[in-house]
Amino acid sequence: MGDARLRVSQSHQSERMNFYSIKQAAGSIAAKLYPDDTNKRLELAERYRHVLYDVLCSEKLIGRDPESRLPIDHRRPGATLALHGCVISERDLNAWLDVIGIGVQVDGKAASSPRPQGSLEFYPTAQVASALAPFLSEGKTREWLLRILGDAGRRPALKQHRKRVGKPEGAFWNPYGVASWLADQEHMTKAKCKQAMKQEYPEYFDRAFDD
């Protein structure tokens, strides 16, 4: 009897479902489509990040609260903002991938968005702008942040958080450095900086904050 209970328990553990943030889901899809082409993976991960958010908002894919794992109610106030930080079950994600017919399924441990070799803690300009835009103050937008990052040569304190990678060169950023600069310039509150790291870049949150 004890052995039977153990086998059942192990079976349930093996069937435990994976959950992905939007960024992780986008990175996982891109990795499946182009496992050997880093530049293409980076490009597609950013594209799928936007696609996934759009289908979540249109209720074609279920976004779940990261703590309770319950579906986010689109009728509740702030639902659109809550979807930025939602998680997606692997089962729901694969069902959606099957519907759109791109020929891949995700599996296993959730993958982070791909990053270029030699730049393991830096992210592309467009990705950083998209991730940090919801946390900006005074109605500033993603397009505004893209302009700021594109003009970093005039801002040495911001430029120090940038790396140039590849040929042709692409700009990659330390997102915590960017968010901290934004907070210092009062374009983002300190609380929003912390929230952005916790939600979008947990590896930076773990290093920069105690809780």
Q: Model confidence over 14-40: pLDDT tens digits?
A: 345 688 888 889 888 988 998 888 788
Cα–Cα–Cα angle for 133, 138, 142, rounded to 5 degrees? 25
> What is the pLDDT averaged over residues 157-170?
76
Encoded tokens for 163: 């790396």
Q: Are 57 and 50 in contact (CB under 8 A)?
A: no
Task: Enter the DSSP assignment of 59.
Answer: T
What is the pTM (predicted TM-score) of this model? Answer: 0.53
Select the more confidently predicted residue: 136 or 167: 136
Find out whether 72 and 65 touch, Cβ atoms under 8 Å: yes
Identify which of 114, 146, 119, 116 has the alpha carbon closest to the alpha carbon of residue 130.
146
**pLDDT bracket for residue 104 (50, 70, 90):** very high
Residue whose C-alpha is closest to residue 128's, from 83, 182, 167: 182
CA-CA distance, 139 to 133, in Å (whole number)? 9
126 closest CA partner among 145, 140, 111: 145
For residue 136, the model assigns a pLDDT of 95
> What distance in Å separates the CA atoms of residue 132 and residue 120, rounded to the nearest whole number?
19
